[in-house]
Amino acid sequence: MCGQYAIVSKIEDIEKKFNVRVREGDEPSTNRIVVPGSKGLVITSENPRELQSFIFGFTPSWADKPKYIINARAEGDHNKENSPDYKGGKGIISKPFFRKAIRSQRCLVIADSFIESTGKKEQKRSFNVYLKEHTRPFAFAGIWDKWLNKETGELLDTFAIITTRPNKLMLKIPHERMPVVLTPSLYSRYLSSRSPLSDITAMLEPYPAQLMNAYEIGTNFYKEREDARKALQPVSQRVGKEYNLKLQQELKLFGMGETPSREKKEGREDV
């Protein structure tokens, strides 16, 4: 399950990377952790050139009341044991809640990292998971819909993140699910109405573990969710070894007594 994720990048950086503009009248904010019921940034198949703020928690248009479903399983009702070796069908296409959205209401969910927790109560540990090589912001595969409250006339724009089986990094945490992270080359194809459904379901695979890493954060991150940089400070070493060759090369440029910038001292920031 992916129930919390971080948006740290500046809005102008998101606009530039995804070639979009903030929807007129919208005032999105960053440097925060998106949690169920709060607003996240999405790019929809309906408006692929707009950056919009939708509620994290999917409700299909036909529902009698808000459902706030945060994740949609790529496998649907299959792979209930969450086997990392599952190679079967993507049952999401037949699930009543999601079968319309996966065909025509897909979205990119903008993020800089995501948080997964393991263990129970006093043994609970939380990890911030990110992409290596300073790859951010990036996008999860998502679905969206609009729900009308017939009593109040309020229209809710909602979304869910599609999840899949774990890769090797997630198993080290350990965690049995992970969000579907798309590579930039897939963004336009995922949003396009011309993409065959078989192409879409083929994208719903685990991101390569060797391109990701994670580190443990404090369990009070939820209380500090309005300041993601503070909430996501590491409390332990990374789960996987990571060498910053670029940092080593940059340090050679500084002579004795010179002081490099904070970014070059510490290397790239881990969100």
**Tens of pLDDT, residues 209-226:** 999 999 999 988 878 889
Percent of the residues in the chain that have a pLDDT greater than 90, as a whole number: 76
pLDDT in tens, 115-166: 998 888 777 899 999 999 889 999 999 999 999 998 899 999 999 999 999 9
If asked whether residues 77 and 207 sit together in one domain, one would say yes
Share of the chain above pLDDT 70, in %: 89
Asked whether residue 24 falls in the same domain as residue 54, the answer is: yes
The predicted pLDDT at position 221 comes to 84
Mean pLDDT over the full length of the chain: 88
Contact (Cβ atoms closer than 8 angstroms) between residue 102 and residue 73: no
In eight-state DSSP terms, residue 59 is -
Q: Is this structure's pTM higher than 0.85? A: yes
Phi, psi at 156, each rounded to 5°: -105, 125
Q: How many domains does the chain have?
A: 2
* Residues 269 and 162 both lie in one domain: no
With cut-offs at 50, 70 and 90, classify the pLDDT of residue 25. Answer: confident
Give the number of other Cβ atoms within 10 Å of residue 16's Cβ.
11
pLDDT of amino acid 1: 65
At residue 244, the pLDDT reads 54
Parent domain of 151: 4-240
pLDDT digits (tens, 9 = 90+) for 67-126: 999 999 999 999 999 999 999 999 999 999 999 999 999 999 999 999 998 888 777 899
**Residue count of the chain:** 271
CA angle, 158 then 160 then 164, to 5°: 170
**Sequence-separated (6 or more) residues with CB below 8 Å from residue 74:** 90, 91, 92, 162, 163, 164, 180, 201, 204
Amino acid occupying residue 177: R
The total of other beta-carbon atoms located within 10 Å of residue 80's CB is 10
Structure confidence at residue 243 as a pLDDT band (50, 70, 90): low
Q: Which two tokens stand for residue 63?
A: 């529902």
Token pair of 244 as six digits:
């910053």
Dmax (CA) of the chain: 70
Same domain, 66 and 194: yes
The verdict on 139 and 215 lying in the same domain is yes
What pLDDT is recorded for position 262? 42
My answer on whether 146 and 266 are in the same domain is no
User: Based on the domain organization, do 230 and 251 belong to the same domain?
Assistant: no
**Contacts of residue 16, Cβ cutoff 8 Å, sequence gap at least 6:** none
Looking at residue 241, what is its pLDDT?
A: 81
β partners of residue 212: 131
CA distances in angstroms from 68 to 13, 145, 166, listed in the order given: 29, 11, 23
How far apart (Å, rounded) are the C-alpha atoms in residues 60 and 158?
8
Q: Are residues 214 and 153 in the same domain?
A: yes
Evaluate the omega torsion of the peptide bond into residue 137 and state whether it is cis, within 30 degrees of 0.
yes
Output the six-digit token pair for 118: 């393991």
Whether residue 158 is found in the same domain as residue 141: yes
- CA dist 4 → 126, 187, 205 (Å): 11, 22, 20
Other CB atoms within 10 Å distance of the CB of residue 180: 22
Would you state the pLDDT for residue 253?
37
**Average pLDDT of the segment spanning 39-62:** 97
**230 and 253 belong to one structural domain:** no
Cβ-based burial of 220 (10 A; exposed 0-12, middle 13-18, buried ≥19): exposed
CATH number reported for the structural domain that contains residue 22 in this entry: 3.90.1680.10
**Region 223-240 average pLDDT:** 90
Q: Does one domain contain both 270 and 189?
A: no
**pLDDT the model gives residue 250:** 39
Does residue 213 sit in the same domain as residue 252? no
